[in-house]
């Protein structure tokens, strides 16, 4: 396809594969939520497009795992609204979903947050399997979030209730690769393409550009299916008569 040879794919596969972080939402108890992750998955599904929480792991890993699963994440509160998941790290971590916004702050709905259960001990709290709410002001601080006198969690960031547009990201990455080589001219309209079945571990996209001396060159783009943040670009250099290396997109 499109003149791609074994060397083309072989160089990509030589970079290795990544651990699969994307899991089924069935990993969480949505019918009888108990843990903070269960509760956050239930609430997030009310605001986010399907499939909702499609990653797994303890609460403290959610910011990383959600990003790997193709969800938008940020560490800034700017533009964060209802439906976003707040993530804290430390021990098992904690997650809560923003369910209200005001001029001074926001309200989160969470599960299993409060004083440690005196009988069961950590990680059980007196609010195990119960939804509770808490209000934060924009002035904070919410970087330190204490459950009681013994457990302290650090704020890590937000998971937004929207997916990253992987095709737009791929197109932007090909343009960025072209921009650092003065031989490339403008992209040819309608040349962008996608092949999601190209490889079990990678999704392939491409865009064709006008090139020096009235030629055209196609830049190929690979996105890891196990971590959407891992992306590479490559093209066949007609002057060198060889494929370039796969360069990781930033």
Instruction: Supply the pLDDT for residue 4.
Output: 44
Same domain for 244 and 152: no
In which domain, by residue range, is 220 found? 165-248
Instruction: Supply the pLDDT for residue 15.
Output: 56
Instruction: Supply the pLDDT for residue 7.
Output: 57
Supply the pTM of this predicted model: 0.79
* 35: its two tokens: 């843990």
Decide which of 137, 163, 189 is a domain's last residue: 163
Same domain for 139 and 55: yes
Q: Domains in the chain: how many in total?
A: 2
Same domain for 190 and 115: no
In this structure, is residue 3 part of a structural domain?
A: no
Cis geometry, peptide bond prior to residue 141 (ω within 30 degrees of 0): yes
How many other C-beta atoms are found inside a 10 Å radius of the C-beta of residue 79?
9
Cα Rg of the chain, angstroms: 22
DSSP state for residue 84 in the 8-state scheme: P
Same domain for 48 and 158: yes
pLDDT digits (tens, 9 = 90+) for 141-182: 665 544 455 567 888 999 999 999 999 999 999 999 999 999
Category of 67 on φ-ψ map: left (φ > 0), alpha (ψ -120 to 50) or beta: alpha
Instruction: Supply the pLDDT for residue 214.
Output: 96
* 113: its two tokens: 């947050």
Instruction: Supply the pLDDT for residue 56.
Output: 87
CA 92, 98, 102, 103 torsion: positive or negative?
positive
Same domain for 144 and 36: yes
Q: Nearest-CA neighbor of 110 among 80, 86, 74?
A: 86
Same domain for 159 and 47: yes
Residues of the chain with pLDDT under 70: 1-27, 140-151
Decide which of 163, 198, 217 is a domain's last residue: 163
- The string of DSSP letters for 148-198 reads SSS-EEEEEEEEEEEE--HHHHHHHHHHHHHHTSTTEEEEPTT--EEETTS
pLDDT digits (tens, 9 = 90+) for 180-209: 999 999 999 999 999 998 888 889 999 999
Decide which of 121, 145, 163 is a domain's last residue: 163
Instruction: Supply the pLDDT for residue 31.
Output: 80
Instruction: Supply the pLDDT for residue 22.
Output: 37
């Amino acid at each position: 396809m499109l003149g791609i040879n074994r060397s083309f794919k072989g160089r990509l596969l030589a970079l290795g594969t990544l651990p699969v972080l994307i899991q089924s939402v069935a990993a969480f108890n949505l019918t009888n939520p108990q843990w903070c992750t269960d509760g956050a998955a239930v609430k997030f599904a009310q605001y986010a497009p399907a499939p909702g929480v499609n990653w797994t792991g303890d609460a403290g890993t959610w910011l990383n795992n959600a990003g790997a699963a193709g969800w938008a994440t940020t560490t800034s509160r700017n533009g964060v609204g209802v439906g976003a998941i707040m993530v804290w790290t430390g021990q098992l971590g904690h997650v809560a979903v923003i369910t209200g916004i005001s001029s001074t702050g926001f309200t989160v709905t969470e599960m299993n947050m409060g004083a440690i259960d005196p009988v069961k001990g950590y990680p059980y709290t007196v609010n195990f399997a119960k939804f509770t709410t808490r209000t934060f002001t924009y002035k904070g601080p919410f970087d330190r979030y204490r459950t009681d006198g013994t457990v302290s969690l650090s704020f890590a960031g937000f998971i937004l209730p929207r997916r990253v547009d992987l095709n737009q990201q791929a197109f932007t990455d090909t343009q960025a690769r072209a921009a650092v080589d003065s031989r490339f001219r403008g992209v040819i309209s309608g040349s962008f393409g996608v092949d999601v079945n190209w490889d079990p571990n990678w999704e392939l996209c491409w865009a064709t550009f006008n090139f020096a001396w009235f030629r055209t060159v196609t830049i190929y783009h690979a996105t890891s299916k196990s971590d959407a943040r891992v992306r590479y670009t490559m093209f066949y250099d007609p002057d060198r008569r060889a494929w370039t290396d796969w360069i990781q997109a930033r």
